[in-house]
Amino acid sequence: MKVSVIIPVYNAENCISNCIENCKNQTFSDFEVIFVDDCSKDKTTEIISEKIKNDDRFRLIQLKKNRRQGYARNIGLEHAKGDYVMFLDVDDDYSLNFIEKMYNKISSDNADMTACKFCLIDEKSGETTENTDFAMLADYPEKFHNGFNYSDITPVIDLFNKSNTIWDKIFRRNFLLENNIKFPTNLFNKEDDVFALRTLFLAKKITILNKVLYFYKINPEKYNSNFQKQAIYDCFLMFDLIRNDLQEYGLLEQFRLDFMKYEIFTLKYYYGMLEQKCHKDFFYKLQNSYKKYENFSREIKNSDNVLFELITKVLETKEFSPEIDIFLKNY
């Protein structure tokens, strides 16, 4: 088996048929698709069972308890048999030669992981647009396309910003197993950010396929305010996990300043995405998060005065007020 495609599903009855057909119509044939159902309450599993019953390339694993996407993807990885692994989202689209092109690139390059380009699709209008919302590994210049690792990128903060997707990548399975790379299971969202950075800092060779092969669907309406709030609050835990990983890999001291910038500006960015009623609570969490960088204020000031001003303003604020709210929204 050359490629295992792992797809977590939950209440996906409206899009699962399209996903299955997309996989069946791939130009590549030596692959398996593992659907991991996270206790769907609709007809997702019935549709899957009916549509894959005569195709032994497809498997369905049904979890007995809702455990979220990270756990579901880990279960899929445990059952994978392919030399290479891909993690796809059930509601997106992919080129019919997606698996073939990605497999050919990673195997011919003898790489640990390969990334391609992707476009965005407005789920309501069906309009495809060039991706300008997400930074991509595939944005790197041609000199990196046939092989690089984290040590080749300066500043490394660029890697933090470009690495938070998994569905545009293919991984060598033994690379993941040998390094015990798994998805965190204690996050409602953002588990793929942590996984992607783990692979990025442990891969010895990363290559790039300079082709648009994946189409990521955008529909803000399907994410209600509670979902968005939980996802944003998960950022605090996500950064703790990434910081612990860098410490474990012996890279925290080397990349401390880049990581500080990444964390501080990302949290500030998410502040602006929250509903107004959530700003006060999020501000105090933000302030508490920034406190761990007080001892590095001189280092931050010498490197980035804008960052220093932001941290100083947040830490010196005694109580949440309209003034600090406006400052954070407009900074």
Per-residue pLDDT reduced to its tens digit, 66-75:
999 999 999 9
Same domain for 252 and 146, yes or no, is no
Q: In this model, does residue 231 exceed pLDDT 80?
A: no
Same domain for 262 and 167, yes or no, is no
Same domain for 180 and 279, yes or no, is no
Average pLDDT of every residue of the chain? 89
**Segment 163-219, tens digit of pLDDT:** 788 999 999 999 999 999 999 999 888 899 999 999 999 999 999 999 999 999 876
Rounded CA gap, 193 and 195, in Å?
6
Rounded CA gap, 169 and 117, in Å?
9
pLDDT of residue 133: 56
Output the six-digit token pair for 83: 């030399």
Question: CB 249: neighbour CB atoms within 10 A?
Answer: 15
pLDDT of residue 243: 92
**Checking DSSP bridges between strand 31-37 and strand 58-62, what pairing results, if any?**
parallel
Domain end, chosen from 206, 222, 238, is at 222
Output the six-digit token pair for 2: 């050359």
Q: In this model, does residue 227 exceed pLDDT 70?
A: no
Rounded CA gap, 190 and 284, in Å?
21
**Quick check: bond before 141 cis, omega within 30?**
no
Same domain for 107 and 159, yes or no, is yes
Same domain for 272 and 186, yes or no, is no
Report which residue type is found at 82: G
Domain end, chosen from 193, 222, 251, is at 222
User: CA angle 60-220-168, nearest 5°?
Assistant: 50
pLDDT of residue 154: 74
Same domain for 163 and 295, yes or no, is no
Contact 96, 25 (CB under 8 A): yes
For tokens 């612990």, what's the residue? Answer: 244
Same domain for 113 and 159, yes or no, is yes
pLDDT of residue 262: 86
Look at 303 and 5; give whichever has higher pLDDT: 5
**Segment 114-134, tens digit of pLDDT:** 999 998 887 777 777 766 556
Rounded CA gap, 162 and 298, in Å?
28
Contact 125, 218 (CB under 8 A): no
Rounded CA gap, 263 and 243, in Å?
10
Domain end, chosen from 182, 199, 222, is at 222
The DSSP secondary-structure symbol of 177 reads H
Which residue intervals of 29-172 are DSSP H helices? 44-52, 68-79, 98-109, 157-162
Same domain for 215 and 230, yes or no, is no
Q: What are phi and psi of 257, to 5 degrees?
A: -65, -45
Same domain for 89 and 232, yes or no, is no
Nearest Cα neighbor of 40 from 70, 77, 67, 58 is 67
Same domain for 190 and 263, yes or no, is no
How many domains does the structure of the chain reveal?
2
Contact 163, 137 (CB under 8 A): yes
Specify the 3-state DSSP secondary structure of 264: helix
pLDDT of residue 131: 64
Say which CATH number the domain at 73 has. 3.90.550.10
Same domain for 201 and 230, yes or no, is no
Rounded CA gap, 207 and 148, in Å?
7
Same domain for 164 and 251, yes or no, is no
Domain that holds residue 140: 3-222
**Length, in residues, of the chain:** 331
